[in-house]
Structure 1
Amino acid sequence: MPIDLTLIIVLALILIALIVLFTFVPVMLWISALAAGVKVGIFQLVGMRLRRVIPARVVNPMIKAEKAGLDVELNKLEGHYLAGGNVDRVINALIAAQRANIELSFERCAAIDLAGRNVLEAVQMSVNPKVIETPFIAGVAMDGIEVKAKARITVRANIDRLVGGAGEDTVIARVGEGIVSTIGSSNDHKKVLENPDSISQTVLKKGLDAGTAFEILSIDIADIDIGKNIGAGLQTDQADADKKIAQAKAEERRAMAVAHEQEMKARVEEMRAKVVEAEAEVPLAMSEALKSGNLGVMDYMNIQNVNADTDMRKSIGDETGHKGDDYSAPDTDRRK
């Protein structure tokens, strides 16, 4: 009985050791590497475990590279993994570049991957160019007519400029700027409609792919349409603005005229008040003149006769003034 217990304990320890060994040490991965001809030691795999590297993320791409005929060192793959890169994508990109006869080193491929770009997609785009479609871009010709154009840009990835090069948004913005500039420099919008290829030719000559991660192969105008008459609208708006300015100035002149009229009326009223005041002082002056002997009684009576004669003439003139003067009648009739 003690012997059986000892045997069970030994078998259990052996089983635990095997479980720990196969869990901590990737024996099956080591066997697969040996079968593929990849020279990797069991202690290297243990070291990967200690460095917190998943061995399968490094060894499997190494096996793939060995079968594809690539000369890649295991330490470089492990270093790229520790740097946060995608080892499997880098190896796939190197294999695709080798098949397409594109010169691409592991260091450059790893740098592109660490820069955040999909290096495999870039290699595929170098082999199979990509078509980027822009939205409708509006430009105004010199005759004031708006022209809308939509372009398709065929681009190919430039491996040498993937690190630090601008993306698709920059290419679309530059092409849109070129389209607007080309339409704006045209004297007549009909010429743009007749020859839409002139837009693409002009844009291609400007080298809009400089500093980007792409190489523009062609720019094709997919659609072109007429927009609003911007020139007429601007002229209408300008006319409305001029009209409002003229109305404001006329209103200002009218207000000044009304103010001037009110001022003149105020002056007239002031003068009338002074006349009334002066007329009120006349009797007092005459009374003082009579008292002092400077004015005689006959003189006063002559003044009264003159005033009476003046009032009579005014009343006669008011009665006959609306009939008008008949200059064809004799002088005696007119006096009557």
Structure 2
Amino acid sequence: MPDSDTAIDVQNVTRTFVLRRRTGWMRRERSVLHAVSDLSFTVRAGEMVGYLGPNGAGKSTTIKMLVGILTPSGGRLRVAGFDPSRQRLRLARRIGVVFGQRSALWYDLPLRDSFELVRRIYRIPPERYRRNLDEFVDLLDLGPFVDTPVRQLSLGQRMRGTITAAFLPNPEVVYLDEPTIGLDVVSKAAVRSFLERTNREQGTTILLTTHDMGDVEQLCRRVMVIDHGRLGFDGELAALRARIGGVRTLRVDLAVSMPAMAVEGAEVVRVEGTRQWLQFPADTSAAPLVSEVAARYPLVDLTVGEPAIEDIVARLYTTDRLPAPRVG
């Protein structure tokens, strides 16, 4: 049984979908897709956890069950002590949700008026609303466009407004689905800083789904990896990289074109003019490589590239030989 510090409790949850396809003029074939299979995990209050996996892995299905949009086919769910599908209205005041580029704001209203509607819907006390709004406007730099109609805002501005709306009621639990997708560097940095500070200072529990490993590395100590509807890993990101292995890439820009560099611990895999790409094990530090390159070669710029989450997950499930989702 979960203790009082458990914000999200998922026990042996499954979710199936019935699929029908035409196989003839008057015939249809029926099959059952197991989108989530015997999924179990808990998230303690105040944690910020990355929930990772490739497209179609079951992440969105899980989030929709945690919100109460979908009802589990089997198993048990509790969020902030509530059953999401049976107590959805009561739970709604305890949670916040951000679904990628799908804005929860009112497009024809100024951003400030959208926030006012959130205040009324969630019945946020006026003093707390003003305090939160002033703080969020400052942290997310909303001041220059808070009185601009939402439809005139850029993607990054709308996302910062959407995140503000989700956090205004001081929710206990927030689900973030790709919160930095398509954002420029400045907007992405503002969102990450806001999430880190809100989690640390207010103790908001955050479940983050993303394909951006930068989000995960900056924000999450713990990650869960799901694929084929099953949980394949639950632990620290460093432990996941150590378990799976793989390679990182060091892209180096030199002042002049040169033959492939010879750097201990790395292999040059590509050379294009003054640019070279080196690969090295993912579980080793890039610092010694960077130091050696800077000391021996006419360095102009360099970038360290992390393994794509799809590659990490693919290696995880190839190694563990988990079955594909059952259809039948």
Larger radius of gyration: 1
Q: Which has the higher helix share?
A: 1
Q: Which has the higher contact order (CA 8 A, sep 6+)?
A: 2
Normalized against structure 2, the TM-score is what? 0.20
Normalized against structure 1, the TM-score is what? 0.19
